[in-house]
Amino acid sequence: MRVIRKAFLFCFVLIFIINILVPKGALCITIQEEEEMSREVMKVIIKHYEVINDSLIVNYINQLGQKIVLSLPPQPFEYHFYLIKNDEYNAFATPAGHVFVNSGLMEAMENEEELAGILSHEIAHVVCRHISQQIDRAQKIGIATLAGIAAGILLGVGGSAAAANAITMGSAAAGQSVQLSYSREDEFQADQIGLVCLTKAGYNGEGLLTMLKKLWSRRWFGPDQIPTYLTTHPATEERMANIDTWLEQNKKIEAHIDAYNFSRVHTRLVAVYGDKSVALRKFKAAVEKHPEDPLAQYGYGLILARTGDRKDAIDHLKRALVKNAFDPYMLKDLGQIYFLDGQYREALNILENSASISSNDPEVFFYLGRAQMELGRLHEAAVTFEELIEKNDDYPQALYSLGETYGKLGRLDEAHYCLGVYYKKKHDVKNAAFHLKRALELMQDPDKREKIEKMLKEIHGKKKPS
């Protein structure tokens, strides 16, 4: 009987999990169709919004997101996490696992629990394929049109989200319309799954509740100030009550989180991408009140560099490094400021130290290569840029600098080739064609010649040059 009861319990739990993680109607469109839709949505988002490409911030958000994803059963697609430079309080997920958080919302966060709470909720929307279900109901509308409408809604229509509204209206200009939005049931289900994922990932779930309270409190600021998140994620009051009940009924685990990682990322976000005057006041006050705090010194150094005061910025970053001598990101920032201030030898020494600690940060090697160039160490610079491009093929600035380096070394075939590829990536057809044609005239390498001919054909739509 004990075996039977165990078997029955196992089946019951399995059925429950399947019903939660694979809800009815969730498998309406195929994974391939969902990925196609996601690519179109991504094009719209990247066209209209600035996605922050900062190694410290992006690496942190992705590591946290992947930690939560690991609590799920095997997924049909990879998850990717992004930060959009936008003051609106918003977060959203596209079909096929692309999760976005606005910088304004992240600035309002105080700890990793809150960010984890928001990410887990958006991950749950992807798991349940909530947007995909809505898309399936409107298949008569073209994929590109749907992508524009979905992007507009996800980014937030209404309030002060004028750009998102323009995207949506533009996509529906032909008179087509579709309702793509989360229902109350979608929100409750995403909260339920998100909370389970959070606890499995080592969080206690309170971060989601505290963020919802912050968002809800801002509804009194006026109709133009209502957070976009509240317009795209309904039933906030009921959600808070349900989450609060869930937290009371489930044992709160002791979350063991390294607070420094979030604080360092948050400091950089505010100092480098936030409002200049606000950041300057914030970190000046922090340094005056807590001069021993390395992150206060770090933030003040970053905002001083941003306002052009590099001498004082260097001084404050050095103070930050007193307690964090081996922090590769702080070293990189100090090296970059030295470089921009024309102190190339100091920049080289600092960047070499940073590179020896963190071998995967492209910005370290980019500025290291530029410092080597300025000091006349061209062969070393070429090797640095070559290795950078090999590891990060989508880093156009390195292509340009490598082209410059090859030119100074007299390797004009390779110089024109790099510059041609650089301008092609930048969609500068005129300059790309010029440099690729010159590269073809000079290049002896048959593989490179074939690549150049292919690129020229793509640019001009012609047969291979003779």
Res. 120: pLDDT tops 50: yes
pLDDT digits (tens, 9 = 90+) for 330-384: 999 999 999 999 999 999 999 999 999 987 889 999 999 999 999 999 999 999 9
Highest mean pLDDT among 171-175, 272-276, 324-328: 272-276
pLDDT digits (tens, 9 = 90+) for 23-32: 444 445 788 8
Mean predicted lDDT score pLDDT of the chain? 83
CB-based contact 386:402 (threshold 8 Å): yes
Look at the alpha carbons of 31, 118, 185, 71 in this order and tell me if their dihedral is positive or negative.
Answer: positive
More confident residue, 458 or 139: 458
Question: pTM, whole model, 2 decimals?
Answer: 0.81
How far is the C-alpha of 114 from the C-alpha of 111, rounded, in Å? 6
Q: What pLDDT score does 136 carry?
A: 60
